[in-house]
Every structure is written in C-alpha cells, then in structure tokens.
Structure 1
Amino acid sequence: MSAAGLSFAGVSWQAPRGPVILEPVTLDLPSGRVLGVVGPNGAGKSTFLRLVYRYLRPTSGSVLIDGEDIWAMRARDVALKVAAVLQEQPTDFALTVREIVDLGRIPHRFGFGRGDNRDIQVVDTVLERLQLAAFAGRRFGSLSGGERQRVMVARALAQEPSLLVLDEPTNHLDIRHQLEVIRLIRDLDMTIVTSLHDLNMASAVCDDILLLQQGRAMAFGTPDAVLADDTVSLAFGVLARRERLMPSEATLFTYQLHA
C-alpha cells in the first residue's frame, strides 16, 4: 500500500465538560514524510496522535487521510490505512509473540476467517525485520519492556498501513534498539507521525516538526525552521542552544535553566 497524505483542517479537542486540550490545528503532511510532534509534558502530543488514529473525535474540524475525513469512513477502512504503536503495553497477554503480530492482519480478514498464506508471509517478514523470529513462540508477558515494544511495532507493520503512528517509540529501548528504530523509521515506505521527547532525535529523523505548547501549535515546518533556539527556549522554559557537529552536520541541542 502506498503512503498516505494527512491533513488537519482546524482540528481541536476539548474534554467533555472540561478544558480545551488542543486548540485548532491546521496542517498538511504530504505522503511519505515523517512528522515529529514535540513539546513539553502536557502540551497535547498524545491528544494529537489520538486524533490521527481515530481514538478521539475532533471537537471541531476534520482529520483527513488522502483527502477523506476519517470519521466519514468505516472503522475497518481506517484500520487498513492507519496503525498505531502506543506507549502503554499490556503485560498479561497469554498470547505468543507470533499471535500478537498476527493480530495486525485482522483488518485484512472478513468475519472470523483464519489467516491465509499471505498473512503467514507478512508475519514471517516482519518478525525477521524486527529480529523477533527467535521469540515467535514466547509468551508476550514474559518479554522485557524493550522486547514488547518491538513486538508492538511488528504488529503495526503486519497491518500494512499507509500511515503509522508511533507514540514515543524509543521508550524502554536500549541504545542499540533505539538506533534500530531510528533506522526503521527512515527506511519505512509510509507516512509516519511520531511523538518524541528527544529534540536531537527529532531533528535527525523527521522531515517536518509540529511544536506544541499548552495545547497550541507554536510552529510547523522543517526541523531547521521550527527548532530554532528562541522557539525551543520559549516552548520548554529553558535556555536552548543548537550546535552543528562536524563533519556530519548533525544537530546537538544543549539546555540550561534560566538564571
């Protein structure tokens, strides 16, 4: 499946009889790009992601996938286009790793039909890609946090989405597997929306950045344009300084508290 374009047209969300969590956001993300959603805790990052994968219905505006409002689509059709990997990981599953990854194939089946050879092939491929083949028969609940994270990424890839949502994908991962997730994000042929705390990582892997603060979109654009020293300092309440590391030209952010 080809990558999908994502648009937010004046999208906001307010808790029932509660405060506005996300003020209206308008943006267009072309297909195949990686969008990093950054901001301090409580900025609205998780709410933004939940709107993308149709967990929350917008209070105002429309979320569009390839120009179609996701709330005008059947839930199954959205599941064929959008997959999500969340921070919360159940630990009490009695299912094996293979059975968890196979859950990603459910949107492609009708009724209670069993998987076919195509499903088996897809599951085998993603298990190999995420270096999980040796864990295929293990119970999900017996895995470490990092291993469970990789299984949930594999389940999402087995869904064969055109848009992948990743909520803090490097949480619980050691340095090696963080680097593997970064490489995976770069190599995947799909549109990706990911929330990240690490601005250096966001600058390295994302094509576009949405910077949120207290539910408001402060900036949207390329990392160089959005992650300017003054903008980051204002958003996070610190003194931020961005430096270029030679010869790779990688970005390194350093921070200190205001005096």
Structure 2
Amino acid sequence: MSAAKLNVINACWSTRSGDPILKPLSLSLNAGRVMGVVGANGAGKSTFLRLLYRYLKPSQGSIEIDGRDIWSLSPRLVAQNVAAVLQEQPTDFALTVREIVELGRTPYRSILSTKNENDSTIVDSALRKLELSEFAGRRFGTLSGGERQRAMVARALAQEPSLLILDEPTNHLDIRHQLEIIELIRDLDMTIVTSLHDLNMAAGVCDEILLLKQGAVLAFGPPQTVLTNQSVSYAFNVSAQSEKLMPTDRLHFTYTLMGRT
C-alpha cells in the first residue's frame, strides 16, 4: 500500500445539542508527509483524529483520501487504507501478542478465508520492527504498558495502511522506545497524522504542524513557522521560549507559567 494524500475540506464536528467541539477547518497533507496535531487539553485534537479514522462523521465538510470521501467507501475499504493506534487498548488480555498483531490483517480476509503465508510474513515483519518477536507467544495482559503500546503499533503496521493515525504514540514508553517509535515514524512509507504533547518531539519528527486551541485552528504549516514563541504561549497559556539547537537547527522549547520568571 502506497502513502495517500489527505484532504480535510471545511470539516467540523458538534455534539447532538449543537455545541461546537471542532470548528470548520481545511488542510491538505501530501502523501508520505508526517503531520503533528498539538494543543492544550480540550483543544480538539482527539476529535480531529476521530474524524480522520471515521469514528465520527463530520457535522459538515469531508475527509478525503486520494480524492475519495471516506464516508463514500465501505468500512472494509477504509480499514484497508486507514489504521489508528489509540490511547485506549484492547481489554481482551487473553490474546497473545501475535494474535493481537494478526488482527491487523482482518480487513483483507473474507468471512470464509483463513490466514495465509502472506499474512504470516507481514505479521512477522511488524513484530520484528517493534522488537516484539520474543513476546509473540505472550498473553497481551502480561505485558507492560509500553510493550502493549508497541504491540498496537505493530498491529497497525500489519494493516498496511496508506494513512496511519497515532494518538500520543509515545505514551507509556521509556526513553529508548520513545526514540525507536520516532525513528519508525520517520522511516515508514505512509502518510502519518499524530497527536503529541511534547512540542520538542513534534518539531523534530513532523513535516507539518496543526496547532489547535479550543477547537479552532491557530496555525498550520512547517514547525518553524507554526511553533513560534507567541503562538505556543497563546495556545498553552504559558510563557514559551525557543532556541535552535546546533548543528540541526531543531527547535527546543522551555516554558514558565504566565507572569513568572
């Protein structure tokens, strides 16, 4: 599966009572690019991601993958194109790690079909990439939080999506595995949208940044133009100060509470 172009066209979402949670926004993300979604708690990050993986239907507007509205496609076809790794994890702890990862192949099977050699090859590859081969026979419920997170990323990779949605993918991970997930994001041949709390990480791994505040877009574009001291301070209600780290010119932020030094 090749990377897909993502278009968000005047999409928004409101509750049944009409309360706007995500205000109309439009953006385009070219195939193979990585977009970070950042903002304070309640900014609308999770709602935006839920629109992308078709958990929520936009109140108006559309989400398109390679020019096709995802709500015009069958659920199976969407699942073959879009994979999501969420903060919520499966509750069926009796499954083994391999069985969890094999679930990523479900959209490619008919009701009567069984696992085949190609499925096994893809699952083996996903387990290796996430350094989970030795855990393949372990019950999911016996894993640490970080190991479970890696298993969920492996399941998404086994799905072979053209668009990968990651909701705080480094949660529960130690520093080493955080770095491994970031390296994996950089190396994957797919379009990726990920929410991140760590702005320094977002600036280092993302091609584009979507900055949200209270359900509205503050800015969208390259990290260097979106993550300014002024925009970060306003979005998070802090005093933000950035510097460029040599020799890569990567942005690095430090923060203080408003009115304090």
| TM-score band, normalised by shorter chain | over 0.9
CA deviation vs aligned residue, 1:68-122 (integer Å, no higher than 9, x gap):
0000110111111000000011344211000000000001111142110000000
Q: Which residue of 1 aligns with 2:187?
A: 187
Q: Within the alignment, does 1:48 sit opposite 2:59 as a pair? A: no
- Which residue identity lines up with residue 162 of structure 1 in the other structure? S
Distance 1:215 1:22 in 2: 4
Distance 1:208 1:112 in 2: 42
Q: What is the deviation of 1:246?
A: 1.9
Q: Which residue of 1 aligns with 2:201?
A: 201
Q: Which residue of 2 aligns with 1:171?
A: 171
Taking the TM superposition and a 5 Å limit, the aligned residue runs for 1:19-168 are: 19-168=19-168
Distance 2:251 2:215 in 1: 26
CA deviation vs aligned residue, 1:151-202 (integer Å, no higher than 9, x gap):
0000000000011000000000000000000000000000000000000000
Q: TM-score, normalised by structure 2?
A: 0.98
Q: Which residue of 2 aligns with 1:238?
A: 238
Distance 1:234 1:184 in 2: 31
- Return structure 1 stretches of 4+ with deviation > 6 angstroms: none
Q: Give yes or no for contact 1:91–1:140 (8 Å, CA) kept in 2.
A: no
Distance 2:141 2:37 in 1: 30
Q: What is the deviation of 1:15?
A: 1.1
CA deviation vs aligned residue, 1:11-40 (integer Å, no higher than 9, x gap):
000011141100001000010000000000
- Which residue identity lines up with residue 209 of structure 1 in the other structure? I
Give structure 1 stretches of 5+ with no counterpart: none
Q: Give yes or no for contact 1:241–1:253 (8 Å, CA) kept in 2.
A: yes
Distance 1:84 1:91 in 2: 17
Q: Give yes or no for contact 2:224–2:251 (8 Å, CA) kept in 1.
A: no
Q: Give yes or no for contact 1:42–1:214 (8 Å, CA) kept in 2.
A: yes
Q: Which residue of 2 aligns with 1:257?
A: 257
- Which residue identity lines up with residue 51 of structure 1 in the other structure? L
Q: How many residues align?
A: 259
Q: TM-score, normalised by structure 1?
A: 0.98
Distance 1:245 1:221 in 2: 20
CA deviation vs aligned residue, 1:110-141 (integer Å, no higher than 9, x gap):
11421100000000111111100000000001
SS in 2 for 1:35: strand
- Which residue identity lines up with residue 66 of structure 1 in the other structure? D
Output the aligned Cα RMSD.
Answer: 0.8
Q: Percent identity?
A: 65
Give structure 2 stretches of 5+ with no counterpart: none
Distance 1:258 1:95 in 2: 48
